[in-house]
A and B are shown apart, each in its own frame.
Chain A
């Protein structure tokens, strides 16, 4: 029997204490944290106990219990209960506490975090009035809890707990175990261990999709007076720069913000999920940044190299370059329609790309971060190319199944290396490929790991990284980095300049992020002022979560290794996934809305933007739903926001001859100003942290407050009353149009066209734009008494149920999986809202039945095409996986149709 432990790991403390207390004979080996002991766990699992039978125990409580049971009785229910409590309740709290104390230097907050569990412990000790947790003798429960609490419990104020703790500490063996693990260094000893742990979950991941709860805040006198004071301030004199001066360059003394959105792959038309994940989110933040007065540069472009482009070219009978030209234009026009305001939208197939990628390559080479290795690959002479795993098929070397794939055997499930296949066949032409060994270059990530970790610690603690970005990054580091191949045997790519590797190109993962630099270089020759200027420039990367490791680990390693003072990412903003009507977007299945089709729906670009941002998968997956889109358009845009803005403007026109009336602020008005000011502050705080969806909620709150204010004060009645009543109507109207003016500014990042329309209708001065979002938020009276407004007209149109039904049919959004969708997808409100729009259920069932039948037909039709080409086949496989995986039992409707 052999026990593997490491220093600084609090779990090892428990295990060593149990070993000493029980006196079980067992070898002990100290490993560093990277030690991988358990063959089936990819991550280091320490402590681990090797059992004589060859099995492993890999968690501390189980090991402790086993050690105690070896020489004693089976542990009691009470012991088991404590162990389970320790693992499920105490440990998460401890992890938070240690995270605060060890990594953030906030030891003072530990008692608060541990208060709940420690009270449980103390009360139990009080009730039992025994020396130890489960009786008068030390049990496994005592040792485990003592070991767990040892690092933090030197200062407990709970008397019974402290007495118990000291009693266990005095048991022979406990102290020496602590000494072995912590080396007398206390919390400091655990630093390296804690850095590798997943961050404790933040608890504020509640979705904000549901209409915001009306929390009635109490507004103090001071807040009201302060709001009234701000209201009376003047607009900023300096006017908002209508046009940016290009090229935008970093400025001394200003906040210089460089924004990138993940480069979309050129051969696909982007779908709504792609759009919200990168370009739209980045656009909102870029526009917001300008309103805040920052110096912002926003770049993006198409990612054009790689196998997929080559295949697409073969399919369409064009050259790869022609394919790229064609689809680059498609992307460009889609983003233009969505009003994505790039400062520059470039591409990766440029001279600059070659120049910069090769420079980084040579620097990595010179600095010794590239290693050479031979890779055996199958090559099809007939097709003249090396075959990716999924393009080979053959006999399984283990079970002789004749149709094993290049990566795994479907029959026995074993993982296979493609070159091990017997009788391999190229899936495209059915010829026998040959094994060729080919030299490749690898980026030596393990060698860069320490540098990377040091940088990550700084960047993630000072910047705004989304929780998923931090978590994905940490899990990569935890698994340990391996060298990554940066070269490929392809033609369509950036050529590797090294003479030993000519005929090869860079692997896209290495090449593509360099696109950010080369695209900027195509924008300005002085691109290095942005990209080699980490002290003046803050870099924001926007992407969907599948792209995180390349931006947080791999690309930073390339830049760190190149050692040329590059600007590394300061804020990594990753979204989750957007589903389509609770299924996934699928181009080949025709399911979902793709960028080029959105405009054909007749729904304005601004409304698309609004809804996509409203359901932005911020913190968790979300779903696009037609019914929900109609509902949000009709309830939020039309009835709430649009209605409020329109009412104020109409009152000015109808009752006051188009001129803003005089305003005499009373308590009630000041209170509203304070409430609006508070919402504005929240909006700014959230937007500064790139919580785009959450911030939108506060815009809608303001118009809700405004509607209520108008409803209560009834200016349309008061205008017919006496002098003081008429004055009251004037004040309410004046305050309302000024709130509308504020709303137009807050809306600008989300709905740029509507925002401008509002200001046009109100004839609002452009200077209001750069006044309102200064500092913590400055709501001033921009439309003073006497100001003449323009022509007011409705901003939004109702989306009718039949219109939405037609769109839903057209874009294949049948909810084929709805009946068996498990609760995992948080979309119950959508179901409820479908009813609102649809009316009756039998109708819905009929539609569903038709939808399912249609789906089956389309799948069959596609199957016929798919026999022709393997790439399409693979696509179908994915679709089938989805279609079938989600409906394990044939749905009743389906059955009838058969």
Chain B
């Protein structure tokens, strides 16, 4: 299950020592966090935010009410748009590419949970892109490369080569 692998990687990134127990629910295999002394938590974003709080890394959820809202905005985008397959991937990449034009991270000026989960979610799409397409979405590719090289983030996913020397620059003609 992809969501569970994501959560396991997130736990490692957060440096949580003892792994939590998970199960899944329903056709969509929604992750469930089993809690010993509290009701279970359901949903990828909900659990991820909970883990961040547990690890005492509030900066990963954004700064102040506004910063937090922007992080939540992209987390929601991840589980609704990216995971639902209602939108086609092209239009998602188009949106993100435009948004990323003047940004290093999805929200604010540092890495947040939004970057991490978006990276996990978009990995298979980026892996599938042809070099030319990666260039078409150059801002997304740049952001993606940046996040996958962020220490400790990548974990369960293979690295994707996004930028290469181009073989067809004008030197050849």
Within 8 Å of chain B (Cβ to Cβ): is A74? yes
A80 proximity list for chain B (CB < 8 A) = 43, 45-46, 49
Contact of A81 among B46, B124, B139, B168 (CB under 8 A): B46
Interface string of A20-48 (1 = CB under 8 A from B): 00000000000000000001111100000
A12 to chain B, nearest CB (A): 17
Within 8 Å of chain A (Cβ to Cβ): is B70? yes
Alpha-carbon distance between A357 and B13 when the two chains are bound, in angstroms: 63
A9 to chain B, nearest CB (A): 16
Within 8 Å of chain B (Cβ to Cβ): is A886? yes
The answer to whether A877 and B72 touch across the interface, beta carbons within 8 angstroms, is: no
Interface string of A58-94 (1 = CB under 8 A from B): 1101110110011000100100110111011101100
The answer to whether A59 and B95 touch across the interface, beta carbons within 8 angstroms, is: no
The answer to whether A888 and B73 touch across the interface, beta carbons within 8 angstroms, is: no
Within 8 Å of chain B (Cβ to Cβ): is A863? yes
Contact of A77 among B49, B83, B84, B161 (CB under 8 A): B49
The answer to whether B98 and A40 touch across the interface, beta carbons within 8 angstroms, is: yes
Given contacts A475-B91, A889-B158, contact A57 B70 (CB under 8 A): yes
Minimum CB distance partner of B39 in chain A: A78
Given contacts A87-B80, A822-B127, contact A62 B132 (CB under 8 A): no
B91 proximity list for chain A (CB < 8 A) = 42-43, 475
Within 8 Å of chain A (Cβ to Cβ): is B41? yes
A471 proximity list for chain B (CB < 8 A) = 88
Contact of B172 among A58, A77, A91, A866 (CB under 8 A): A866
The answer to whether A885 and B79 touch across the interface, beta carbons within 8 angstroms, is: no
Given contacts A88-B83, A92-B84, A873-B168, contact A888 B46 (CB under 8 A): no
Minimum CB distance partner of B160 in chain A: A888
Minimum CB distance partner of A198 in chain B: B86
Contact of A822 among B49, B128, B133, B142 (CB under 8 A): B128
Alpha-carbon distance between A654 and B130 when the two chains are bound, in angstroms: 60
The answer to whether A57 and B73 touch across the interface, beta carbons within 8 angstroms, is: yes
Minimum CB distance partner of A43 in chain B: B91
A878 proximity list for chain B (CB < 8 A) = 130, 132
The answer to whether A55 and B127 touch across the interface, beta carbons within 8 angstroms, is: no
A389 to chain B, nearest CB (A): 13
Alpha-carbon distance between A198 and B45 when the two chains are bound, in angstroms: 24
The answer to whether A885 and B168 touch across the interface, beta carbons within 8 angstroms, is: no
Interface string of B127-139 (1 = CB under 8 A from A): 1111111111011
The DSSP consensus for interface residues of chain B is: helix
Contact of A870 among B70, B99, B173 (CB under 8 A): B173
A775 to chain B, nearest CB (A): 38
Within 8 Å of chain A (Cβ to Cβ): is B56? no
Given contacts A88-B80, A880-B131, A885-B133, contact A69 B160 (CB under 8 A): no
A871 to chain B, nearest CB (A): 11
Question: Which A residues between 650 and 696 are near B, CB-CB below 8 angstroms?
Answer: none
Contact of A393 among B66, B128, B131, B170 (CB under 8 A): B170
The answer to whether A66 and B65 touch across the interface, beta carbons within 8 angstroms, is: yes
Within 8 Å of chain A (Cβ to Cβ): is B166? yes
B50 proximity list for chain A (CB < 8 A) = 77
Within 8 Å of chain B (Cβ to Cβ): is A882? yes
Given contacts A88-B30, A475-B88, A885-B129, contact A57 B69 (CB under 8 A): yes
A154 proximity list for chain B (CB < 8 A) = none
Alpha-carbon distance between A70 and B66 when the two chains are bound, in angstroms: 9
Contact of A867 among B66, B68, B172 (CB under 8 A): B172
B28 proximity list for chain A (CB < 8 A) = 88-89
- The A/B interface has a contact count, at CB < 8 Å, of 154
Alpha-carbon distance between A89 and B30 when the two chains are bound, in angstroms: 10
Alpha-carbon distance between A85 and B158 when the two chains are bound, in angstroms: 30
Alpha-carbon distance between A877 and B167 when the two chains are bound, in angstroms: 8
A867 proximity list for chain B (CB < 8 A) = 172-173
Interface string of A795-824 (1 = CB under 8 A from B): 000000000000000000000000000111
The answer to whether B131 and A88 touch across the interface, beta carbons within 8 angstroms, is: no
The answer to whether A59 and B42 touch across the interface, beta carbons within 8 angstroms, is: no
Alpha-carbon distance between A52 and B67 when the two chains are bound, in angstroms: 12
B170 proximity list for chain A (CB < 8 A) = 393, 403
The answer to whether B76 and A59 touch across the interface, beta carbons within 8 angstroms, is: yes
Question: Which B residues between 9 and 66 are near A, CB-CB below 8 angstroms?
Answer: 26, 28, 30, 41-46, 49-50, 65-66
The answer to whether A51 and B69 touch across the interface, beta carbons within 8 angstroms, is: yes
The answer to whether A84 and B43 touch across the interface, beta carbons within 8 angstroms, is: yes
The answer to whether A62 and B76 touch across the interface, beta carbons within 8 angstroms, is: yes
Minimum CB distance partner of A88 in chain B: B79
B160 to chain A, nearest CB (A): 5
Alpha-carbon distance between A74 and B130 when the two chains are bound, in angstroms: 42
Minimum CB distance partner of A201 in chain B: B86
Within 8 Å of chain A (Cβ to Cβ): is B149? no
Within 8 Å of chain B (Cβ to Cβ): is A881? yes
Within 8 Å of chain A (Cβ to Cβ): is B94? yes
The answer to whether B49 and A882 touch across the interface, beta carbons within 8 angstroms, is: no
Given contacts A873-B173, A889-B158, contact A880 B167 (CB under 8 A): yes
Minimum CB distance partner of B90 in chain A: A475
The answer to whether B124 and A822 touch across the interface, beta carbons within 8 angstroms, is: yes
A62 proximity list for chain B (CB < 8 A) = 69, 72-73, 76
The answer to whether A84 and B45 touch across the interface, beta carbons within 8 angstroms, is: yes
Within 8 Å of chain B (Cβ to Cβ): is A234? no
Within 8 Å of chain A (Cβ to Cβ): is B105? no
Question: Which A residues between 854 and 898 are near B, CB-CB below 8 angstroms?
Answer: 863, 866-867, 870, 873, 876-878, 880-882, 884-886, 888-889
Minimum CB distance partner of B87 in chain A: A198
Interface string of A400-420 (1 = CB under 8 A from B): 000100001010011000000
Alpha-carbon distance between A39 and B79 when the two chains are bound, in angstroms: 22
Question: Which B residues between 132 and 173 are near A, CB-CB below 8 angstroms?
Answer: 132-136, 138-139, 142, 158-161, 164, 166-170, 172-173
B128 proximity list for chain A (CB < 8 A) = 822, 824, 885-886
A178 to chain B, nearest CB (A): 23
Within 8 Å of chain B (Cβ to Cβ): is A53? yes
Alpha-carbon distance between A471 and B94 when the two chains are bound, in angstroms: 17
Alpha-carbon distance between A52 and B43 when the two chains are bound, in angstroms: 30
The answer to whether A881 and B131 touch across the interface, beta carbons within 8 angstroms, is: yes
The answer to whether A61 and B65 touch across the interface, beta carbons within 8 angstroms, is: no
Alpha-carbon distance between A255 and B74 when the two chains are bound, in angstroms: 52
The answer to whether A59 and B73 touch across the interface, beta carbons within 8 angstroms, is: yes
A866 proximity list for chain B (CB < 8 A) = 172-173
B58 to chain A, nearest CB (A): 10
A252 to chain B, nearest CB (A): 44
List 18 interface pairs A-B (beta carbons < 8 Å), by A numbering. A42-B95, A42-B98, A51-B66, A59-B73, A66-B69, A66-B72, A69-B65, A80-B45, A80-B46, A84-B42, A84-B76, A85-B43, A87-B76, A87-B79, A88-B80, A198-B87, A822-B124, A881-B130
Closest 4 CB pairs of A and B: A885-B130, A881-B130, A881-B132, A413-B138
Knowing that A51-B66, A88-B79 are A-B contacts, what are 18 other residue pairs whose CB atoms are under 8 Å apart, sorted by A's residue number? A39-B98, A42-B94, A51-B69, A53-B66, A66-B72, A69-B65, A70-B65, A80-B45, A408-B135, A408-B136, A410-B135, A413-B101, A413-B138, A413-B142, A870-B173, A880-B167, A881-B130, A889-B159
Could you list which residues of chain B lie within 8 angstroms of chain A, going by C-beta atoms? 26, 28, 30, 41-46, 49-50, 65-66, 68-70, 72-73, 76-77, 79-80, 83-88, 91, 94-95, 98-99, 101, 124, 127-136, 138-139, 142, 158-161, 164, 166-170, 172-173
